[in-house]
Amino acid sequence: MLWKLVSANKSPTEVVSYSDFLQMIDDKEVLSSNIYLEANSANIHALLRGSRKYVQTTIATSELPEITARLKDGGAKIEISEAKNGDWTLILLNAAPLILLVGFCLFLMRQMKGNAKRALVLRAATARTGIGYDLHRLEEGRPLIVGGIELPFDKGPVGHSDGDVLAHALCDALLGAAGLGDIGTHFPDTDPKWKGANSMLFLEHAKKLLDEKQFAIEHVDAVVIMEKPKLGPHFPKMREALAKALSVGVEKIHLKAKTNEGVDAIGRGEAIAAHVVATLTSR
């Protein structure tokens, strides 16, 4: 590649072949020359007598003795130095592609980082959270249905539908996050068609409403409170039933169980309650 160099007096430097440079020496055209030594070569920058033009050529180190002898014979002034102390313009020009590449990479990294931050901000701005709570009295002889699963127990919830306290609290949390009212708005206990209804139908309807509003379920965190029976062993089936009703992955449903330490109606085994937090994002 041919480089146009800038000398001290701002005149352009012409790159010439080794043979042409030898001819200039023999014709005694070279007034002075600066020789910059590198590992296996030398760069020669020379000022010509008549034209006051600068020329440059590169030679092998082995040819340096012959060149210097011919320059001296031609009456040229010679200065020899290491390349690191030489023409910084040449060094910068040779390094320019690498400098541009590094700069471009840094620019891309900054742009990607900025885009990632904007995406996080946008995601945070479109995330919505809703809470749900429900409580039912327990009565002997009724089926105990929690999270869409019937559990073996001598008591069950009293309610207009199947009394699934977890499903009801979850439904309220989802509707609340989407700003769509509550379970009583969509499934009033005054409507006979919901008498004894499976609460999974409520969740399926809530999911349909979320889809219409372009909301996606990101995470559900729930806690069910009752003294007995133990709920933990039944959580895997509950999570599957709830995830199926909501058409989401099981990993998005998280369940916990607590007792009320013998306090109040729940502690006396007279009631069951659930708290749910649901997180949605806009699609």
Q: Which domains does the chain have, with CATH numbers?
A: 5-86 (3.30.720.210), 127-282 (3.30.1330.50)
In this prediction, residue 199 has a pLDDT band, given cuts at 50, 70 and 90, of very high
Nearest to 96 by CA among 5, 174, 216: 5
Backbone angles phi, psi at 174, to 5 degrees: -65, -45
Report the pLDDT averaged over residues 145-150.
96
Helix residue spans in 127-191 (DSSP H): 165-177, 183-186
d(CA 2, CA 6) in angstroms, rounded, equals 13
Report the pLDDT averaged over residues 118-135.
79
d(CA 86, CA 277) in angstroms, rounded, equals 71
Task: Mean pLDDT check: name the lowest of 56-60, 171-175, 190-194, 212-216.
Answer: 190-194
pLDDT in the model for residue 149: 95
Task: Mean pLDDT check: name the lowest of 25-29, 52-56, 187-191, 230-234.
Answer: 187-191
Helix (H) or strand (E) holding 280: strand 271-282
Query: pLDDT (tens digit, 9 = 90+) per residue, 76-120?
Result: 899 988 765 445 555 566 666 777 878 888 888 888 887 777 666
**Most confident of the ranges 50-59, 60-69, 133-142:** 133-142
pLDDT in the model for residue 8: 43
Residue carrying structure tokens 């309807």: 205
Is the pLDDT at 124 greater than 60? The verdict is: no
Q: Rounded to a whole number, what is the largest CA-CA distance in the chain?
A: 121
